[in-house]
Structure 1
Amino acid sequence: MPGQKHVVFDVVGTCVSFDAFYNGIDKVIGPRLLARNITARSFGFTWMTAAELEFTFLSISERYKPYKEVMLALFFRTLYMMGVEDPRSFATEAERNQCAQSYSDLELRPGTKECFAKLRDAGFTVWCLTTGDVTRVRGYFERGGVDMPLVNFLSCDTAGIAKPALAAYKPALARFKDDDVKWFAAAHMWDVSAAVKVGFRGAYCTVYEKESCAEIFDVDMEVHEDSLPAMADKVIAASS
């Protein structure tokens, strides 16, 4: 008997977009940012990228902290790095908290619901592996009308190891049998390429990064598509 079929998805950036986060920043401090020639989008991207960097460094040095804590701590430093000389007079902690709260308001990308439906109709079990807290991340699916059972969520907070450390993917892989079909799907090339190294088959979608920069990741990506539904089609076809 052939094994069961599974796809493990990254969530933030892959299944959900950052538009609500950027819009939330714009509502709170957007005009002040623009007065300094900084857009809400560029600040939001820089802020979360800085937080991801410190989050990863803390994990590597065995001082894991939940991403939300790291993100809050990096707000004022990011403003300073972008040219705001006195960030604590530029924005308050309450405003920082408002901006960070909008990260909880992210919405599913167009095509996520269709992607999951295609996979499930083809006999796949859909999983999520996230660096975020499960309650927040599951809320994205609930608001988007996509059923995602709590038992199918896996969080890096549980193991205290951040992606893309290979050990972060191994507990997910260990849930499945040797003869199961095991895919990892993401819109971050760094993420899916690391999952491939531990034994997953890789499916990459360009919906977030646009450019894969595949030349620096040194991995053959089995599925490479521009939309989530098209990626699902390729995964299904490659698994038959």
Structure 2
Amino acid sequence: MSLKGTIIFDILGTCFSLNKPRQALVALGAPAHTLELWFAQTLRDAFALSHAGHYQPLRQILAAELPRSLAVIGVETTEQQRSQVLDIFTQLELQTGALIAFNQLQSDGWRLIALTNGGEESTRKLLQQSNALPFFDRILSCDAIEKTKPHPDVYALAKRESRDEVWLIAAHAWDVMGAAMAGLQTAFITSSEKAYLGVYPQPTIVAVDLGDAANQIIEWVSPQQQ
């Protein structure tokens, strides 16, 4: 079977659900939307540090942001409680249907690559404990070049490891935007953010979940291949 191209997957929030840390925050007395506040502030400050030339690994920023996010909503916690919430990021679960989607794409001749703002080793462990690691040829972390997505250099890193037609699948509009600006085909998954942003370059396809994205990509006929 000939290879059709490369599918690049975002990891946190796309391949892996953030429901476990959400539940841990709720158990501390925080409202359910605290997870979105915490994660959004973490990404904002990760982007800011990267843009300012002082990159920091994502886990360090998650740890720094957590007490501030909880203070904003008026929830008091101990350092031990916050540490337990952070540790849950090592126990994330795959999104429903993820393994089926990975298998469909691989069986159809696509090469799969993970591209994450998280750490390479932590991502490898998540994929391994979820029985998903064999589907992925490479795991690429922004730590390798000390720049966060959606910097063009991150997608250039992934493109150097790719061949033929290249897609990015992500549940974050800003990630899809960055990939589109870098010349990739893109699939936006609506499960988290619900709607795409009108000021961004539009995604190639819009899907409700990983399975839907896989099916649409398999059915897609690239204009370059016509």
Describe how 1:176-195 pairs up with structure 2 within 5 A.
Answer: 176-177=162-163, 180-195=164-179
Counterpart of 2:185 (choices 192, 201, 226) is 201
| Structure 2 Cα separation of the partners of residues 46 and 189 of structure 1 | 16
- Higher-Rg member (1/2): 1
Cα 1:52–1:210 change in 2 (3 A) is same
Does structure 2 retain, via aligned residues, the 8 Å contact 1:192–1:202?
yes
Give me the whole-angstrom Cα distance separating, in 1, the residues matched to 2:185 and 2:100: 21
Contact 1:181 1:239 (C-alpha < 8 Å) held by counterparts? no
User: Are 1:226 and 2:212 counterparts?
Assistant: no
Q: Which residue of 2 aligns with 1:44?
A: 35
* Equivalence for 1:121: 107
Where does structure 1 lack aligned partners over 5 or more consecutive residues? Answer: 85-89
More helix by share: 1
For residue 75 of structure 1, what is the amino acid of its counterpart? L
Give the Cα separation in 2 of the matches to 1:208 and 1:220. Answer: 17
Residues 1:216 and 2:199 aligned together: yes
Aligned length: 221
Contact 2:114–2:138 (8 Å) recurs in 1: yes
> Is contact 1:3-1:181 (8 Å) kept?
no
Whole-angstrom distance in 1 between the partners of 2:104 and 2:91:
26
List gaps (5 residues or longer) in structure 2. Answer: none
Partner of 1:17: 17
Shift of 1:75: 1.9
**SS of match in other structure, 1:216:** coil
Amino acid at match of 2:195: E
For residue 142 of structure 1, report the CA deviation from its aligned partner. 2.1
Spell out, residue by residue over 1:63-109, the C-alpha distance to the aligned partner (whole angstroms, 9 max, x if none). 0000111111112222222235xxxxx22211111111112211000
2:157 aligns to what SS in structure 1? Answer: helix
Same amino acid, percent of matched pairs: 26
Relative to 1, partners in 2 of residues 1:149 and 1:111: Cα closer, same or farther, differing over 3 Å? Answer: closer
Distance 2:209 2:33 in 1: 24
Matched residues in 2 for 1:13 and 1:148: separation?
20
- Structure 1 residue 231, shift from structure 2 partner: 0.9
Q: Following the alignment from structure 1 to structure 2, what is the Cα–Cα distance between the partners of residues 24 and 144? A: 20
Shift in Å, 1:239 = 4.1
State the alpha-carbon separation in 1 of the partners of residues 99 and 56 from structure 2.
Answer: 31
SS at match of 2:175: helix
Give the root-mean-square deviation of aligned CA atoms: 1.9
What residue in structure 2 maps to residue 87 of structure 1?
none
1:184 alignment partner, SS class: strand
Match of 2:159 in 1: 173
When the two structures are superposed, what TM-score results if normalisation uses the length of structure 2? 0.90
Q: What's the offset of the Cα at 1:3? A: 6.8
- How is 1:131-150 mapped onto 2 (pairs within 5 angstroms)? 131-148=117-134
Q: Which moved more, 1:167-176 or 1:9-18?
A: 167-176
Q: Deviations over 1:35-56 (max 9, x none)?
A: xxx41x2222211211111111
Distance 1:227 1:133, change over 3 A: same
